[in-house]
Amino acid sequence: VGINDGDKYYMASHSSWNQTLNDCLSYSNCDSCVTIEKCGYCGPSKNANSTGFGGSCLPVADGDTSFSQFGYCSSNFSSDPTNNGSNYSWAADYCATQYTAIPIILMVLYLTFFSSGYGPIAWVFNAEVYPLWARSTGVSLATAMNWFFNLLISLTFLTLSEAITKYGAFFLYAAITMVAFVFFFVFVPETKGIPIEEVEMLFMSKKKRRERKMQLEHKNDNLDERTSGLGSADKY
């Protein structure tokens, strides 16, 4: 039996559509459904939220995310009053819920405490951890890396959330943060009470540290001798 190009295209598109439909129908509630770009949740208004069931996860209409591909939330039924006496809602991007204010409040609290605590501490530490000869270069490189990763996260978040879901993206960020915490705890030294001239020695080996201390002591001894000599000359 011969199959022309048109038939092949129809079969391929039909197979792809069936795959999308099966993917959407595998989600049982709104919150998990709307994380998929090609799906949206259609259900009675009182149930079309992140905790409600009673609706269906359906493919979005081609070229218009305001409607589902079929069902009560499709464009064909948008004005149909015979939906079993229920008003149906279509959620393609987010789920309507009575708890909308909670994440906003938590976000404000997070930004408040971060901006007055952990946020500026990193920059204060960054300004004190370098020796004088490397301070400008170190701060410049640290600032450049900070903004590079800010840009990287901004550019990849949507793609990443589609590939591993929004939950997966934030779990990945949490894992990276934990690795950074371990690195910080193990390798970053305490600088409290240490003069900025001696901070460099914290990153040296024991041998190099002893040599550096001897150099500083010798330098201080020479400085004391010069100071004593100037004081004696002033007496005469």
Sole residue written with tokens 């002591």: 217
What's the pLDDT score for residue 140? 92
What's the pLDDT score for residue 4? 38
**Residue burial 121-145, b: 16+ Cβ < 10 Å; e: rest:** eeeeeeeebbeeeebeeeeeebeee
What's the pLDDT score for residue 86? 62
How high is the mean pLDDT in each 10-residue block of the chain (236 residues)? 37 60 83 83 64 72 81 69 62 81 91 86 82 85 92 91 85 93 86 77 77 73 61 49
Sole residue written with tokens 């040296």: 204
Which DSSP state fits 27? -
Beta bridge partners of 43: 89
What's the pLDDT score for residue 106? 92
What's the pLDDT score for residue 48? 45
Residue ranges per domain, the chain? 5-91, 101-197, 200-231
What's the pLDDT score for residue 92? 82
Cut 0.75: pTM above it: no
Q: Does residue 44 contact residue 86 with C-beta atoms inside 8 Å? A: yes
Start-end of H helices in 59-134: 101-116, 118-128
